[in-house]
């Protein structure tokens, strides 16, 4: 987003008396959907994230105490909360964040950060041992990245080893929760391990891409959630917070929450609501309109 555009937009807002306001210490979204949310370092390559109607956040201990009622009032539709790492670490804010978000009425899901030096079975058991068995919780998330900041674990393992660990953990998480897990990953891990692996197509992907749309960074990979900034601003959270967009419509998001819409295949598993069904074909075909460039 250019400085000239922002300056012009702000001037117009004040001149017309519109009460959009700016997010604390950051620039507001000008989509009209989230006037109280913002980003302190907006990147023009991800501006298109604002056209998606459903947005949420992900949090961990680093966000400290959170006012979940304010987060909810800002229009946050979902939250993913860090639960565990490896086979012996629990995020100290996990249970408080989980309880607070649920009490505010925000759909919540937990994620596990994989350590490549721990056996996959141990990690899966550690994760499921510590996440609440809430039937209405979002599916569990497996965070697949290289351990670049670990002093005790190897940063990388051979590709086939990483794939086998991921397979086992995904199977165990699905067996435990009865829900198809979500895969979170970044550009480097996807390129090194997951790119071209069609066996994972049934899983919804949550992709990190903070400088360009996911389609430019992840070859041939459909996404369900897009982490488009790590410098977001949301009322109720002090400082930076990751912001995420859901790829589809309000109806598809609601259908997914009800178990009627499959994110991996992007298809309705039950009859789609009338509002999202294709309109009947007209009796007389109209001239085809060329697509916009």
Catalytic-role residue among 67, 122, 145, 262? 145
When computed from its CA atoms, the radius of gyration of the chain, rounded to whole angstroms, is 20
CA within 13 Å, CB half, 255: 21
Residue whose C-alpha is closest to residue 240's, from 231, 227, 228: 231
Task: Give the helix/strand (H/E) hosting 256.
Answer: helix 250-257
Active site (annotated) includes residue 293:
no
Catalytic-role residue among 58, 85, 143, 186? 58
Active site (annotated) includes residue 58:
yes
The single residue listed with the structure tokens 């897990």 is 181
Buried b (16+ CB within 10 A) or exposed e, 114-149: bbbebebeebbebbbebbeeeeebbbbbbbbbbbee
Give SS3 for 177: helix
103-106 — which CB contacts under 8 Å span 24+ positions?
Answer: 103/68, 104/68, 104/69, 104/71, 104/72, 105/72, 106/56, 106/68, 106/71, 106/72, 106/76, 106/77, 106/78, 106/79
Residues known to be catalytic: 58, 145
């Amino acid at each position: 987003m250019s400085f000239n555009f922002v300056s012009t937009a702000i001037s117009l807002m004040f001149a017309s008396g519109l009460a959009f306001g700016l997010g604390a210490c950051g620039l507001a979204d000008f989509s009209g959907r989230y006037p109280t949310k913002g980003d302190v370092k907006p990147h023009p390559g991800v501006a298109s994230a604002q056209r998606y109607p459903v947005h949420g956040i992900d949090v961990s201990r680093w966000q400290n105490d959170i006012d979940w009622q304010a987060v909810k009032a800002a229009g946050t539709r979902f939250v993913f909360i860090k639960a565990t790492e490896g086979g012996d670490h629990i995020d100290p804010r996990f249970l408080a964040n989980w309880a607070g978000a649920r009490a505010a009425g925000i759909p919540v899901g937990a994620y596990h950060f994989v350590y490549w030096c721990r056996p996959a079975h141990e990690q899966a058991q550690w994760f499921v041992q510590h996440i609440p068995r809430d039937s209405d919780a979002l599916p569990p998330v497996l965070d697949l990245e290289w351990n670049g900041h670990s002093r005790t674990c190897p940063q990388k393992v051979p590709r086939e080893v990483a794939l086998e660990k991921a397979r086992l953990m995904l199977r165990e998480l699905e067996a435990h929760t009865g829900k198809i897990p979500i895969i979170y990953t970044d550009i480097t891990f996807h390129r090194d391990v997951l790119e071209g692996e069609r066996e994972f197509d049934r899983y919804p992907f949550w992709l990190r891409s903070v400088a360009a749309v996911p389609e430019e960074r992840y070859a041939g990979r459909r996404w369900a959630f897009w982490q488009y900034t790590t410098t977001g601003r949301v009322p109720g959270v002090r400082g930076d917070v990751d912001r995420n967009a859901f790829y589809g419509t309000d109806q598809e998001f609601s259908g997914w929450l009800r178990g009627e819409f499959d994110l991996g295949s992007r298809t309705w598993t039950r009859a789609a609501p009338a509002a999202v069904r294709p309109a009947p074909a007209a009796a007389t075909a109209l001239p085809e309109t060329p697509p916009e460039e």
